Amino acid sequence: MKQKKIFVIGPNKCGSISLYYFFEKNNLKPIHWDKGNLALKIISNISANIKPLHGLEKFNCFLDMYFITTGLYISPISLRDKIITHYPNEIYILNIRNFEDWLTSRNKHGNGSLNERIKDTLKESYDPFLEYNSYKEIINYNLNNFHIFDLDDPEKFKNLSTFLNNKGIIITDESEVHEHKTKI
């Protein structure tokens, strides 16, 4: 049986690098951000009416699908629906955390450069609360293979391991991974 792909489709600064290392230690093939190239590749494929993951076949876990530069902001929200259309039976993980902690962590990311680039691109129209809540819309999609990974849940890796094992993805090490923690 072909292994399902895993899409981590929540906001950045919600444990995506920890999830990357968790997947890697369990012999999956994750790709995380790749300096924005992951999001650029997917959006380029979509724009050319090519399957979103064309050219990314060697990976089976996709995390932090972001690209930001002055003038262009791509987030998983903009990719989500096309990915689901092409891969409806794959695994989708919404990684979330408390909004205020997310905002604090994001504000500190890159000494604030991420927020500066978003504000330069979107000006006054940017609303972080609206963006954050837009990620949660996937809860209403009724996907067959959907899991919420709540960064604030002390059992998050155990629960994720159980979910993935039940979906046929063998997780042999369910111990927690904690990388790149921002001090709140």
pLDDT digit string, tens, across residues 81-138: 999 999 999 999 999 999 999 999 999 888 778 888 898 999 899 999 999 999 999 9
CA distance 147 to 84: 14
Question: Using CA atoms in the order 29, 161, 139, 104, what is the torsion angle rounded to 10 degrees?
Answer: -80
pLDDT of 70 over the 80 cut = yes
Q: Tell me, what's the pLDDT at 184?
A: 66
The answer as to CATH 3.40.50.300 being correct for domain 6-166 is: yes
Q: Please compute the mean of the pLDDT values over residues 11-23 and round it to a whole number.
A: 97
Q: Tell me, what's the pLDDT at 56?
A: 98
Residue 1: pLDDT band with limits 50, 70, 90 = low
Q: Of 23, 37, 40, which is closest to residue 149 (Cα–Cα)?
A: 23
CA distance 17 to 161: 16
CA distance 124 to 1: 49
Q: Please compute the mean of the pLDDT values over residues 60-80 and round it to a whole number.
A: 95
**E strands along 4-145, which residues?**
6-8, 30-32, 61-63, 67-69, 72-74, 91-96
Q: Tell me, what's the pLDDT at 114?
A: 86
Q: Tell me, what's the pLDDT at 2?
A: 83
DSSP, res 136: G
pLDDT of 52 over the 90 cut = yes
Q: Tell me, what's the pLDDT at 41?
A: 98
Q: Domain residue spans in the chain? A: 6-166
The pLDDT tens digits for 139-183 are 999 999 999 999 999 999 999 999 999 999 999 999 999 987 776
Q: Please compute the mean of the pLDDT values over residues 30-50 and round it to a whole number.
A: 98
